[in-house]
Amino acid sequence: MGRSILAPAALPGGSYYHRLSNRHYAVAGGVVHRHQLDAAGRRINVIEKRVDLVIGSGNHAMTPVHRTPQDRLIEMPLSWYAEEKAWAMSPGYDRPDHLDFRRPVTAECLFCHAAYPAAEDPSPRPIDCARCHGAVEAHLNKPARGTILNPARLPAARQLDICLQCHLETASRAFPDSLRKPGRGVYSFRPGEALTAYKAYFDRDPPAERFEINHAGYRLLQSACFLSSAGRMTCTTCHDPHAARARNACRGCHTSLAADHAGGAPDCAPCHMPARRTEDAIHVRMTDHKIMRRPAWKEPEREDHTPYLGALRIFAGWGDPASLGQARFLHQARITGAPEDWRKAPPTLANRAAFGDALMRSGSHEAGRKVLQDVLRSDAGNVAALNGLAVFEGIRGRPAAALRLLEQARAADPDHPLTWINLGVAYEALGNHRQALASYDEAVRLQPDSAQARRRRQALLDRGLAPASAPPLP
């Protein structure tokens, strides 16, 4: 776990050409370089990003991360894969329309890769003892029994929760696999408490046989061995939490096996828990923790980006009806923009604003307006709702009304790039091209990789509607 985040020096050099997006990438000297070629073979669309940290131990993969001048972390579009000893696209990027250098690394992403943020320096650090043992200050001051949490003294269910806080994920991106409970911050889970007090988990309804890169806990909880253990089986039944090794605990239960079963092989895992290529990261093989008598599967040839459009259910009792209603709301907002039960299980303000935005994007402008106005009744400075309503006013041909809403959004959060982009659109509609250019410039300053802001800015210049003295962007 201490290698969950590495220094840039850990990355090997190399290059990779991504055919689907026609982009060439190279990694050298702690920098990721990208370019394309024009018809004459000249390099165009060149971008270089410094690598500031690396996520992953290198046992399976390493993904470089860039820190922007605004102190935001951005995932790089390619990763190093240990099995192939080569660079290839990061999970989710093997498609023509990938995010390139624009995918943010959020606190939710870092939760399972980084230690609890330190007050004096919140920069991501490798996972440390506190993730499993809780507060360690008293133990460091006086190393003795009783000054630190020993997970082995917890009930089996709470021991399992410590591992599953990071190793339980029912889906990587097809639907909202989990939701934090109201009032819980990203890093608020502590060893010894019930994981269900921190998060609720969901699955497809009906479930489908799937195998993804972070499916160790998900598959184990479906295993016959776990289900028949009456809650006694935990991850440490087989794994040593302080070392990268596992012990063969199978014969502790399967005592009737002949001594020469499978030729007397000392390890049951290769046959009953084989390493398989994962569906969402096909350059990686992971141990399938759904213990089966005769595993059978078909290796994926490509990442599967097919959206899931079906229903959701609570996963294995790890949820509650209110959270399920919220997850269904979010899922339906993603795919249709019109969930039927969102008022029956009112979600958080952030999710209601997301729903209103989804309605707008789906063309249900009036319905979206009502949802966003409802959000503003509870939170007059909600930036997402103000931006959504400004878009509505712009669609209706009322740029002055849009501008008033966007000025409120800017006052609430002056560092929100989308607000500045929408301000530029509103100023353009009002004929104030100088102010529109300044708004797009501010959006680019806040988010240098904003293709939307750069594209709109360049369109102003190309049409001769902005000052000719406007400096080029870096």
Contact 12, 79 (CB under 8 A): no
3-state DSSP call for residue 288? Answer: coil
- Distance between the two ends of the chain, CA-based, in angstroms? 38
Q: Residue 206, preceding bond cis, omega within 30 degrees?
A: yes
Q: Where are the alpha helices (DSSP H) in 297-398?
A: 321-335, 349-361, 365-378, 383-395
The DSSP string of 88-146 is EEPTT--STT--TT-EE--HHHHTTTBPPPPSS--S--B--THHHH---HHHHHS-STT
Q: What gap in Å lies between CA 27 and CA 11, rounded to an integer?
A: 8
Q: What gap in Å lies between CA 402 and CA 422, rounded to an integer?
A: 9
The DSSP string of 222-254 is TSHHHHTTTT---GGGTB-TTSS-B---GGGT-
Identify which of 312, 44, 63 has the alpha carbon closest to the alpha carbon of residue 202. 312
Identify which of 370, 402, 155 has the alpha carbon closest to the alpha carbon of residue 355. 370
Q: Which amino acid is at 63?
A: T
Q: At what angle do helices 321-335 and 349-361 cross, to 10 degrees?
A: 20
pTM over the 0.85 mark: no
Q: What gap in Å lies between CA 82 and CA 141, rounded to an integer?
A: 39
Domains and CATH numbers, the chain: 5-110 (no CATH), 149-252+269-341 (no CATH), 342-462 (1.25.40.10)
Q: What gap in Å lies between CA 36 and CA 43, rounded to an integer?
A: 6
What is the reported pLDDT for 349?
76
State the number of CA atoms in the 13 A half-sphere of 195 facing the CB: 24
Measured CA distances, 278 to 60, 213, 275, 299, 351 (Å): 12, 5, 9, 8, 30
What pLDDT tens digit does each residue of the chain (474 aa) get? 668 899 999 999 999 999 999 999 999 999 999 999 999 999 999 999 999 999 999 999 999 999 998 888 999 999 999 999 999 999 999 999 999 998 999 999 999 999 999 888 888 999 999 999 999 888 988 888 888 999 999 999 999 999 999 999 999 988 889 999 888 899 999 999 999 999 999 999 999 999 999 999 999 999 999 999 999 999 999 998 887 677 788 878 888 877 767 666 678 888 999 999 999 999 999 999 999 999 999 999 899 888 898 999 999 999 998 889 888 878 877 776 555 555 555 567 777 787 788 778 777 788 889 989 999 999 999 999 999 999 999 999 999 999 999 999 999 999 999 999 999 999 999 999 999 999 999 999 888 878 889 889 989 988 887 665 556 555
What's the token pair of residue 120? 């004096």
